[in-house]
Amino acid sequence: MNQSQAITQHALLVAWGEFARQMGLIQQLEQLSIHQKHYQHTPQTKVLEFLVATLAGLEHLKEISQSAHPLDKDAVLAKAWGQAAWADYSGVSRTLKALTRAEAQQIVHVLDGSSQMFITSEVNMALWLEKCLVYDGDLTGLAVSKSSQTYPGVAFGHMDDQIRLGYQAAVVSMHSPTYQRLWLSVEHHPGNLVSASAAQGMVQAAEARTGVRPWRRTDLLEQRVQAANSYELTLQQKRTVRQERVSAALRELDQVDQQLAEWQAHVAELEAEYEARQRCERPTSKLAQARQKLVTFQKRRERRAKALSKAQQVVEWTQGLILQQQAEQHSLQERLERLQEDNANNPQPVQAIFRLDAGFGTYENLALLIEMGYEIYTKLQNWKVLQGLLKQVPDQAEWTKVGTQATMFAWGQHQLESFCYPLDVGLECFTDGKRVKHCALLHYGPTPVTQDLPAWFAFYCGRQTIEAGIKESKQIFHLHRLKVRSEPAIYLQENFVLFAANFIRWASTWLAQASGQGFLNVEHLSTKEMVQVAAHASAEVVRYSEGKLLRFSEQSAFAGKALKLPIFVYQLPLPFGKSFDFSHV
């Protein structure tokens, strides 16, 4: 059997390079047009090198060249990723700095295209097995030094329970039957973005990635549009009544002005008469009584003027409400037409759930997601509403234990004040023996959550999977350590990190095809072990007639183990029953 051997210090990175080559990712990135000068290394090579550095979990860009086993010195690794050699980290940095937004978007478009077959497969499988898609959305802050002036587009915002300078990344993941969690999208924003303004974009990004969406609840929205129209009519009627009050106040002011003018003239006439006759003005004289009458009408005019001003202010306020209502009507009507069009172009609607934290739980967000057809699990944002709910709990209410230190009391189809749709509301009570804390879960959808409060509590707590994913992105892939300082490159780093987390899960399933005694079962390794240990382990790369083999060295943590690099054959899940063979790539 003919074979050749080579040594690498980055065993799993070599395996991932083979996987990337077989799935066509490397070839697609190499074909991109990046308008930069080419000396020893192409800009495409340096973009690939940045991706490999992300997969390797490097905290700083300079570690490409200045770590114990530099990536740019590993010729076997470069070859595995289809490159003649790697560039020094400074060259990678210059290429990233010079990237335009359009070029970064092209690169991300290639990542999305390479990911799509996996995402589509998991969507199909989730719909087949669970009859529903489960999305989680969140914001994660990427803070920089508060005195920094070299990061473009930064702003102060809430990050890790503090006000810090930096960016916000809006991320969406889906529950995956095979991989547990798959990232769907990340959107780059300045640090002052708040959760409430990000919900719609996150939902639209999720739908764009999965290619499916629920049936829009246009019937509910039509009722809301009708109610808005009726309310505008009521406001217009009130404006008419209040304008009549203004007219009446004007008439009364004109009348008192005439009376005031008459008494001013009368007083002037008496003053002239008294002066001509040299009469003294006594407290009970005609002139004194006339002056008192004049003061009475002056005060009356002040009251009439204030009444007119108040009536005019009420009309202006009513007019403002009408304009505000008309703007809302216009927005609702546009939304209705858009959702009606969505339904007309959606022959196969799906059931879908969105889980969000309290920051997204504004009334406007809830109404929007309900009308877009989603089953919603979130928390109440408004503290005053929470206090009002607590007062509504009966004194003898029975609270259901849902966790070690948590109990719940719930209402089904409860109408919150100022909200347009009834919701399932679950009050939570947490205690640690020293203090008691309350919050409220909100739900909209067909699931009878109030009949099984522990299941409701547990399902909402399942959104910790996205929190764990954010923690993984920062602790393993160092997303919070921005390796670049241009906005296109920061956008690229965010997308590379989420792609890397997905890519490793896909590659683990691919590598698990070769199992048995002497083979390393990567599916039993955590992402942290793969990135921080296996990706930096030494191994022999053995090429033979049947393919490639990685044999870990005696100096590695996996001594005595090997990895076979199989041919990539992708199988879509039932019921579709089609397979896609990429062995020719």
- Which tens digit of pLDDT belongs to each residue from 60-78? 999 999 999 999 999 999 9
- Render pLDDT for 264-283 as a digit per residue (tens, 0 to 9): 999 898 889 888 888 888 88
Radius of gyration for the chain, computed over Cα atoms and rounded to the nearest angstrom: 35
* Residue 558 CB coordination number (10 Å): 22
pLDDT of residue 568: 63
Report the pLDDT value the prediction gives residue 123, as an integer from 0 to 100: 95
| Residue 142 and residue 479 in contact, taking contact as beta carbons nearer than 8 Å | yes
Nearest-CA neighbor of 402 among 458, 351, 360?
Answer: 458
Residue 359, pLDDT above cutoff 90: no
Per DSSP, the three-state class of 428 is strand
Nearest to 377 by CA among 422, 330, 423: 423
CA atoms of 29 and 112, how far apart (whole Å) = 12
In the numeric block, the tokens 């202006």 are attached to 316
Query: What whole-number distance in Å separates Cα of residue 424 and Cα of residue 377?
Result: 10
CA atoms within 13 A of residue 343's CA, in its CB half-sphere: 14
The mean pLDDT of 290-308, rounded to a whole number, is 92
Q: Does pLDDT of 575 surpass 80?
A: no
Tens digit of each residue's pLDDT (9 = 90 or more) over 491-500: 999 999 999 9
Task: Assess contact for 567 and 583: CB atoms under 8 A.
Answer: yes
Residue 174: which of 225, 221, 208, 218 has the closest Cα? Answer: 208
Residues of the chain with pLDDT > 90, as a percent, come to 72
CA 69 to chain CA mean position, Å:
38
Q: Convert the pLDDT of each residue in 224-247 to its tens digit.
A: 999 999 999 999 999 999 999 999
- 């204030």: which residue's tokens? 306
Q: Which two tokens stand for residue 521?
A: 């079962």
pLDDT average, residue stretch 397-422: 92
| 133 touches 351 (CB < 8 A) | yes
d(CA 535, CA 533): 6
Peptide bond into 575 cis (omega under 30): yes
Indicate the pLDDT class of residue 343, thresholds 50, 70 and 90: very high
